[in-house]
């Protein structure tokens, strides 16, 4: 069991690399059909749908994005919508008044500061209103095909359970994986971890006994949830 300078419980680097080798061998990784967030076809609609997905179920986000893009598909068109009409369209995804304000601010920033082009760097994406680390990484990975491990609920749970990180937030998990995951795993690491989280390391009743990582996994070898993973179990 390894420790970093913060004294956290972590797998040592050789075991981290071995974990990713096994994930690569068992999980399909990025498929030829991988699209932008929520299956959106271009970077603009990807970043908009990612903004709308905050604290929303996928099916509700899909309803909201379908409603919105039936009315407007560009930053200028969204800016031209009255706030009440925009809020009504995205209502299914919740927090629709706040998201309406953020969406208008996002579109204004794209028009005024980026010549209507979605930026491709993490820093520039995170500078956009309503876009945090998770959304930025998801857009970079899916829309721009960059080598980055985007951290959603599944990836955050799996990374903390195994011992790839011991992070209090998904954003910290993402930062740790930049440094701890081997370079060759950065491209498909998101896909291996999310597929593993859905098929094996599930939120409820994870399949620990038959898991191909159980001899490495700190969650399994401890026989109980670790402090950093109790809330993820």
pLDDT tens digits for range 69-127: 999 999 999 999 999 999 999 999 999 999 999 999 999 999 999 999 999 999 999 99
In 75-146, which ranges are E strands? Answer: none
Query: pTM higher than 0.85, yes or no?
Result: no
Q: What is the dihedral of CA 6, 10, 13, 14, to 10 degrees?
A: 160
Provide the annotated active-site residues.
134, 152
Please answer whether residues 161 and 229 qualify as being in contact, where contact means their C-beta atoms are separated by less than 8 angstroms: yes
Q: pLDDT by residue (tens digit) across 124-167?
A: 999 999 999 999 999 998 889 899 999 988 899 999 999 999 99
**79-to-6, 118, 136, 157 alpha-carbon distances in Å:** 46, 16, 22, 37
Interatomic CA distance for residues 148 and 126, integer angstroms: 15
Q: What would the pLDDT profile of 38-50 be if each residue is shown by its tens digit? A: 457 789 999 999 9
Domains located in the chain, CATH noted: 2-32+149-232 (1.10.1670.10), 37-143 (1.10.340.30)
pLDDT, position 41: 74
Strand partners, 161: none
Cα separation, 212 vs 193, whole angstroms? 13
% pLDDT > 70, the chain? 88
Q: Please choose, from the candidates 129, 58, 136, the residue with its C-alpha nearest in 3D space to the C-alpha of residue 94.
A: 58
Is the CB of residue 118 less than 8 Å from the CB of residue 34? no
């Amino acid at each position: 069991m390894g420790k970093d300078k913060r004294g956290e419980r972590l797998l040592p680097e050789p075991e981290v690399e071995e974990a990713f080798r096994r994930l690569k061998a068992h999980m399909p990784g990025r498929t030829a059909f991988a699209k932008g967030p929520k299956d959106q076809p271009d970077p603009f609609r990807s970043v908009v749908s990612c903004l709308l997905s905050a604290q929303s179920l996928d099916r509700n986000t899909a309803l909201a994005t379908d409603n919105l893009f039936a009315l407007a598909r560009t930053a200028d068109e969204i800016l031209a919508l009255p706030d009440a009409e925009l809020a009504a369209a995205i209502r299914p995804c919740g927090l629709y008044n706040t998201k309406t304000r953020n969406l208008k601010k996002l579109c204004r920033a794209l028009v005024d500061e980026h010549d209507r082009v979605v930026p491709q760097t993490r820093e520039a994406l995170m500078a956009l209103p309503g876009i945090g680390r998770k959304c930025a990484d998801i857009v970079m990975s899916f829309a721009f095909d960059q080598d980055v491990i985007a951290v959603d609920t599944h990836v955050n749970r799996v990374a903390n359970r195994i011992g790839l990180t011991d992070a209090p937030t998904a954003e910290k998990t993402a930062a740790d994986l930049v440094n701890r995951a081997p370079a060759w795993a950065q491209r498909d690491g998101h896909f291996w971890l999310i597929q593993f989280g859905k098929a094996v390391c599930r939120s409820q009743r994870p399949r620990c006994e038959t898991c191909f990582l159980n001899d490495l996994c700190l969650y399994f070898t401890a026989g109980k949830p670790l402090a950093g993973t109790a809330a993820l179990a």
